[in-house]
Amino acid sequence: MSEPENLTYAAARDTTEGKVFTVTGGDWDQVVRGVDPLNDEKIIVNMGPQHPSTHGVLRLVCELEGETVTEVRPIVGYLHTGIEKNLEYRNWTQGTTFVTRMDYLAPIFNETAYCLAVEKLLGVTDQIPERATTIRVLMMELNRIASHLVWLGTTGMELGAISAMLYCFRERELILEIFEMTCGLRMNMAYVRPGGVAQDIPDAAIVKINEFLQLFPKKMSEYEDLLSGQPIWIERTKGVALLDIPACLAMGVTGPVLRSAGLPWDLRKTDPYCGYETYDFDVPVATTADVWGRYEVRMAEMRESMRIVEQALARLRPGPIMIADKKIAWPAQLAMGADGMGNSLEHVAKIMGESMESLIHHFKLVTEGFRVPAGQVYQAIEHPRGELGAHAVSDGGTRPYRVHYREPSFINLQALPAMAEGGLIADVIAGGASLDPVMGGCDR
């Protein structure tokens, strides 16, 4: 490129990073009349993979003209864990300890989809104890609230409402404490297992859940007082990152993003599982198809989840939490020793004292696992981010032949270019956050 006549810009020089132009200064009237050699140049900006607004290790390659985004290319794979491949080397029950770590903000959903698929392959779906199914619903809906709180807090922080994150994580902590009281872990619990759940829910956790149900509605009103009427929040969300119903359907986008466009598609209603058809709740929708609509939908969903939790608590009846078939039932209700390590002497005495045959069976069940009839199934559930589907294939052995997940974060991310291109670079943050992607699910 030839040097501009008014010398406002120095001549371009080629480098390994492309052309470099150096502004040499000049009077203002010369600058505004000068020929800008950058006017036909596009800027490439890497957002991530360490950018805090990408909800994990995600890289967005953004091509810009000024502040306008002309192209966005999402690049995933930085967090790859090989979970699906690892499942092929563990028995069917051990698989739940792997899948729980995929979307680490919604572990109970990962586990439940997997276990429902295994139970469908075994043909024992109708044999799962009612108490175990009710506990699964209870834990999933608490987990949905916790996941949405992370979304609200992080999105608020990314758009400038720093205090929103402090408050949302404060209430999420209450749910994580309930999880810890129930199964010993706050996240990635491997709590749901084929045939039931690992531990019964203790009375102390029931008390904590009731306390949370009393407190949380007031906190939600505080969130809305903080955000809903705030001018900056409104400017950053209304009319931003539009994605209508045809676009969602074309790309397979589900969950709150689809419902914010006006389609009430929720697998708890359209293809029920775990007895969801017996619960009374609504499917929140919006019609704005923008970031604001996704905010409204998720806030309403948290209130509906509280309704479901209340109903689940009311129908908790005494009973077993693991399937009766001892050829499938993994040991549950394991009692911890007084030193906090291993099983209690009473539990060991019970296992070893029943009979030699039961001890042998216990050993083989835990080490080798149970056999699952050959076949394949697909089990979908309503995850906080959309349809989570587990495709499980068995060759008749004690290990999965193949397990593949249809993960909503991975599917929904392909909508980001459609939402962002043509808009401002600042709206890439709001649009990406409104998808609520969790990269542990994408890179499983």
At 118-153, the pLDDT tens digits run 999 999 999 999 999 999 999 999 999 999 999 999
Tell me the mean pLDDT in the region 330-340.
66
Quote the number of domains for the chain.
2
Instruction: Give a yes or no: residue 192 inside a domain.
Output: yes
What is the predicted pLDDT for the residue at 254?
Answer: 94
Question: Which domain CATH number covers 173?
Answer: 1.10.645.10
State whether 39 and 183 are in the same domain: no
Of the chain, the end-to-end C-alpha distance in Å amounts to 47
State whether 103 and 52 are in the same domain: no
Q: How does pLDDT run across 258-271, given as a tens digit for each residue? A: 999 999 999 999 99
Domain boundary among 75, 106, 125: 75
Instruction: Give a yes or no: residue 254 inside a domain.
Output: yes
What is the predicted pLDDT for the residue at 339?
Answer: 65
What is the predicted pLDDT for the residue at 366?
Answer: 81
State whether 98 and 68 are in the same domain: no
Instruction: Give a yes or no: residue 352 inside a domain.
Output: no
Q: How many CB atoms lie within 10 A of CB 379?
A: 22
What is the predicted pLDDT for the residue at 33?
Answer: 54
State whether 306 and 409 are in the same domain: yes
What is the predicted pLDDT for the residue at 47?
Answer: 84
Instruction: Give a yes or no: residue 348 inside a domain.
Output: no
State whether 97 and 176 are in the same domain: yes
| 58 band by pLDDT with thresholds 50, 70 and 90 | confident
Domain boundary among 50, 75, 100: 75
Instruction: Give a yes or no: residue 252 inside a domain.
Output: yes
pLDDT above 60 for 288: yes
For residue 219, give its domain range.
Answer: 83-328+370-442
What is the predicted pLDDT for the residue at 48?
Answer: 77
Domain boundary among 75, 95, 115: 75
State whether 70 and 92 are in the same domain: no
- Nearest one of 292, 257, 300, 293 to 408, comparing CA atoms: 257
pLDDT above 90 for 333: no
What is the predicted pLDDT for the residue at 6?
Answer: 45
The reported pTM is 0.86
pLDDT above 90 for 177: yes
Tell me the mean pLDDT in the region 28-55.
65
pLDDT above 50 for 235: yes
Q: Look at 15 and 338; give whichever has higher pLDDT.
A: 15
- pLDDT over 70 for what percent of the chain? 87
State whether 126 and 41 are in the same domain: no
- Nearest one of 87, 116, 154 to 267, comparing CA atoms: 116
- The CA-atom distances, in angstroms, between 94 and each of 17, 278, 346, 399 are 49, 31, 25, 9
Residue 218 CB burial class (10 angstroms; 0-12, 13-18, ≥19) = exposed
State whether 96 and 49 are in the same domain: no
State whether 38 and 168 are in the same domain: no
State whether 163 and 253 are in the same domain: yes
Residue 205 structure tokens: 């956790």
State whether 28 and 168 are in the same domain: no
Lowest model confidence (mean pLDDT) among 1-10, 89-98, 255-264: 1-10
pLDDT above 60 for 10: no
pLDDT above 90 for 31: no
Instruction: Give a yes or no: residue 128 inside a domain.
Output: yes
Instruction: Give a yes or no: residue 360 inside a domain.
Output: no
State whether 127 and 53 are in the same domain: no
Q: 18-20 and 375-383: which strand pairing?
A: unpaired
Instruction: Give a yes or no: residue 3 inside a domain.
Output: no
Q: How does pLDDT run across 102-121, given as a tens digit for each residue? A: 998 999 999 999 999 999 99
